Structure 1
Amino acid sequence: MNTARPSGSSKLLFWYKRHPVVFASGFLSGGTMVDGIAMLGQVALTARMLSKEDFGLLGMAMGWTFVAASFLDFRVWEVMTIMIPKFQATKKLRRASALVAGCFLLELLGGLITSSILTLTAWFAATYYAKSPDAASLFLIFAVQPLLMSADEPARTLLRLAGQFRTLALWRGLSGVGQLALVATALLSLGSSESVAAAVVGAWFLRLLALTWLMRRALACLKLDPLKLGLRRLIVPTLRSQRSLLATTMFSSIAGRLNNRLDVVILGWLTLPEVVAPYDLARRLTSQAGLVLGPIEQVVYPRLSKMIATEDVQRDQFLKKLTLGLAVILIPGIFLAIVACPYVIPQVFGNKFTAAVLPAQILLLAYLPTPLLWMRPLLAAKMENRFLLQMGYASVLVQLLFGLILISSYGYAASAVSVVAAQAFWWGALSWRNQSSAKRSTGSTDKCDLVKANSTSF
């Protein structure tokens, strides 16, 4: 009788098969963490080597570009994540390939239009928004970025659906390190905000080239060929059949992106770049938490879509374990970061950014509900997109009202409060909807069981 204990590699393989979501999230989080550390290094370099005014202008230009790009972001990655597994389950690979081609074309069209508009309005943005006509070249450089970013999300979605999480993690980590190297070179050689903007845009171009090369293997793994000539006639009918889902995800994406940078734009419109600089630093620092959490949602989303499509009975147990695990890890980390802010920010970024401490501490509170990050993908997979759309715009309205009413009196602290208020509304609405949906599904199941019992008795 063989009583040898399993080796460490055998145990690891066993856990990998039992908990693929944990390992996939770990790979992506690791790559994103490297990217986040590189981003923090980039922020630290720019904060120390640029003047406070130039740093504020850089943040305002990035915020302006981000908000403008949100209006033509079709959020096709969400449509692809929902529909491609369904097409594959029903052996409709040609429809899936046509959907991929159509989604890429939509994103490229949106990026081209946005970049054109930003190019034409660069002088207006610099003069009337940033109150610095000399910064027009800065806005002009960032105008190219939406076009470069257009193929990013659909390409990454294909890698996720193909299960190539390690490749995606490696790409993410190397991209962050490469961008840090380019920004550092620009600061050391030229030392201007325009050189930093050019380095960021150049890094995005290199990211896109690498991602395009990696995407080919994912398409082969999924048995999809969006470049096949015979699919051209299928692209428009396939997109038309998904127009309702595309419309709701697009408008939902607009709301989500506005929530991400609208506070910076409002603060910049009502104040000066010197006031925006510490808040923009706080916003960039706290957003790194979202970068680490993003991969977890990206792994969970396809898993939930498949569970709902196959009516997997293990779904509720999976979500409970996910919530508990995230709560144990994230909530203590958030409070630790709040305590560390007064010590870390002045030491790393200089005393001129001490004012960033309070908004950073307030903004971190917005991440307390993140153990429930599965709620949005679950509702989307259940086709509750209209509700998500309505609540997304309602949260934007909450943020806008808080910002416009309070910023003029309380400055960047009010901007941070507006973000927390919007997030509290959003998570509260999602929690209510999930509970209501669970009660409805339980009630319908009980009715079905009663009907079956009655039919059996006859």
Structure 2
Amino acid sequence: MNILRKKIKKVRSGWHAESTLRGRLKNITHLLTGNFASAFIGLVGFALTARALGPADYGLLALSFAYVRGIERFVSFRSWQPLIKYGALALETGDSERLKALFKLGLLIDLATAFLGWGLAVLIVLLAGPLFGISDEMSRLVLIYCAVLPLQVTGMPTAVMRLYGRFKILAYGQVAASSLRTLLCIAGVYLGWGLFEFLVLWMASQICGSINRNLWAFREIRRQGLHDVMRVPLGDIRSRFPGFWSFSFQSNVAPIIQACAFEFDTLLVGYLADPVSAGLYHIAKRVAKIAQQAGEQVQAVLYPDLARAWATQEITEFRKTVNQTGWLLFGFGLFALFTAQLSIEWILRMTAGSEFVAAAPLVVTQFGAVIMLLCSRTLFSALLAMGHEKAALQSILLSGILFLVTALMLLPKIGALGANVAHIVMSSTWFVQMAIAYRRRLTRGS
């Protein structure tokens, strides 16, 4: 009888694992489908903008976008990471009061960092612009674009939708936003819009996307029966959620360092080269980001599952999930690199125009960094779920320094391609360090 019970338990365990994998793959499929559709549609919008403005004006717009985006990622608290970590256990135990307190705390953090980012962005432009010889036109464009920052409240909504598995809404909401922006870009080309009109168009699309995500999140909160979220008392955060601030700080520093590399690099190219090079580099990054975002979307599904598995000490399932996802992303990265090598010149010529075909080598080189970055995403999620955010932070510090040193050395010599090479150095170093840290901590079992 005991043997029979063990066999039945093993079969049930296999069914559960298979069901979990199917559910995870289904969510990943939704996110990837929506993300690719959104990315391709968005790329058409960027290409139409580039075609309408030309390399010089598009470079100015790209620099404005990169600056504001960099400040947003630099200041953003990414409250979804601690909210999912602490909310996963609360969700498993049905502790609704704890969930409401977490969501309220996350929203307050998001609002505070959004306004902090706006103030910092404006202050830097006003004080540092004249020191670095930034033109008045460039400063004016950036100051206008900074208006999107107070409305970029995305951490809490992201945590809500991911915790409750509403990945389909997250995925196809992006498609709707990208489609609207592309339709407006088509109208802009037809009406002969200039730099300022396209600047306002990009701003409006970002603001509408953030508002839409918040509306869906609050709708989901009410659907789950969590009412009066903003009235629930927070209490003492340190005693109620032990380690919340420490985890939040350490898990956010690594993405901040990455933000300096993945957002401010366009500014670095523009400063050490010229706006035209910055425009070509930005186009190359937008193409490569189609594949890069696959890792972010997979992490969106993976992190809540890993947090639950580690919280309940399902180590075998935890290890299996990490391995499966890592190989999946590696294979996808190789496929994306091969596809880019064969078709990127034709894609650039047919979309942005022949003036932007020079960005083709930048795209292919950037895909080399993307492959390593995709593999690293899985390990980063695993380390956070294991509560080893310090190891995740340490792994990015050295790679961030190497990126900056490599970029400063190569940009003056080989132009924008130097930034691509610096990305490869950073991503490879980050992956190796995190792989070592993950193996060590998994062996210890804690």
Tell me the TM-score normalised to structure 1 length. Answer: 0.86
> Which deviates further from its counterpart, 38-47 or 234-243?
234-243
**Residue 335 of structure 2 corresponds to which residue in structure 1?**
332
**1:156 aligned onto 2:158:** yes
**Residue 71 of structure 2 corresponds to which residue in structure 1?**
68
Please give the alpha-carbon distance, in whole angstroms, between the structure 1 residues aligned to 2:132 and 2:444: 48
**Residue 83 of structure 1 corresponds to which residue in structure 2?**
86
Distance 1:131 1:184, change over 3 A: farther
> Which deviates further from its counterpart, 326-335 or 302-311?
326-335
After TM superposition, give the deviation of residue 105 of structure 1 in Å. Answer: 0.9
**Residue 28 of structure 2 corresponds to which residue in structure 1?**
25
2:357 aligned residue (344, 354, 357) = 354
Please give the alpha-carbon distance, in whole angstroms, between the structure 1 residues aligned to 2:21 and 2:276: 52
Distance 1:290 1:238, change over 3 A: farther
**Residue 278 of structure 2 corresponds to which residue in structure 1?**
276
**Residue 35 of structure 1 corresponds to which residue in structure 2?**
38
**1:262 aligned onto 2:246:** no
Tell me the TM-score normalised to structure 2 length. Answer: 0.88
Q: How do 1:90-239 residues align onto structure 2 when only pairs under 5 Å count? A: 90-122=93-125, 131-149=134-152, 151-189=153-191, 191-225=193-227, 227-233=229-235, 238=240
**Per-residue CA distance 1:152-180 (angstroms, 9 max, x = gap):** 23202211111112222221211111122
Q: Secondary structure at the match of 1:143?
A: helix
**Residue 11 of structure 2 corresponds to which residue in structure 1?**
none
After TM superposition, give the deviation of residue 225 of structure 1 in Å. Answer: 4.1
**1:376 aligned onto 2:380:** yes
Please give the alpha-carbon distance, in whole angstroms, between the structure 2 residues aligned to 1:235 and 1:101: 12
**Per-residue CA distance 1:25-49 (angstroms, 9 max, x = gap):** 1111111112101211011101111
> Contact 1:98/1:226 (CA < 8 Å) preserved in 2?
no
**Per-residue CA distance 1:124-149 (angstroms, 9 max, x = gap):** 66656584322333112210222222
Distance 1:400 1:372, change over 3 A: closer
**Residue 9 of structure 1 corresponds to which residue in structure 2?**
none
Give the alignment's Cα RMSD to 1 decimal: 2.5
Please give the alpha-carbon distance, in whole angstroms, between the structure 2 residues aligned to 1:422 and 1:47: 29
Distance 1:142 1:274, change over 3 A: same
Runs of at least 4 residues off by over 6 Å? 14-17
Larger radius of gyration: 1
Structure 2 letter corresponding to 1:399: F
**Residue 295 of structure 2 corresponds to which residue in structure 1?**
293
Please give the alpha-carbon distance, in whole angstroms, between the structure 2 residues aligned to 1:46 and 1:128: 30
**1:413 aligned onto 2:411:** no
Please give the alpha-carbon distance, in whole angstroms, between the structure 1 residues aligned to 2:124 and 2:85: 36
Please give the alpha-carbon distance, in whole angstroms, between the structure 2 residues aligned to 1:133 and 1:166: 44
**Residue 439 of structure 1 corresponds to which residue in structure 2?**
443
**Per-residue CA distance 1:72-93 (angstroms, 9 max, x = gap):** 2111111111110122334433
After TM superposition, give the deviation of residue 209 of structure 1 in Å. Answer: 2.8
Structure 1 unaligned regions, length at least 5: 1-13, 445-458
Please give the alpha-carbon distance, in whole angstroms, between the structure 2 residues aligned to 1:48 and 1:128: 32
Identity %: 18
After TM superposition, give the deviation of residue 372 of structure 1 in Å. Answer: 5.3
Q: Secondary structure at the match of 1:368?
A: helix
> Contact 2:104/2:230 (CA < 8 Å) preserved in 1?
no
**Residue 398 of structure 2 corresponds to which residue in structure 1?**
394
> Contact 2:376/2:430 (CA < 8 Å) preserved in 1?
no
> Contact 2:59/2:278 (CA < 8 Å) preserved in 1?
yes
Distance 1:303 1:89, change over 3 A: same
After TM superposition, give the deviation of residue 123 of structure 1 in Å. Answer: 5.1
Distance 1:229 1:396, change over 3 A: same
**Per-residue CA distance 1:364-390 (angstroms, 9 max, x = gap):** 101223245321100000111112112
Distance 1:108 1:238, change over 3 A: farther
Please give the alpha-carbon distance, in whole angstroms, between the structure 1 residues aligned to 2:62 and 2:408: 20
Please give the alpha-carbon distance, in whole angstroms, between the structure 2 residues aligned to 1:173 and 1:234: 40
Please give the alpha-carbon distance, in whole angstroms, between the structure 1 residues aligned to 2:317 and 2:259: 33
**Residue 385 of structure 1 corresponds to which residue in structure 2?**
389
> Which deviates further from its counterpart, 89-98 or 167-176?
89-98
**Per-residue CA distance 1:346-374 (angstroms, 9 max, x = gap):** 33322212221111111010122324532
> Contact 1:101/1:235 (CA < 8 Å) preserved in 2?
no
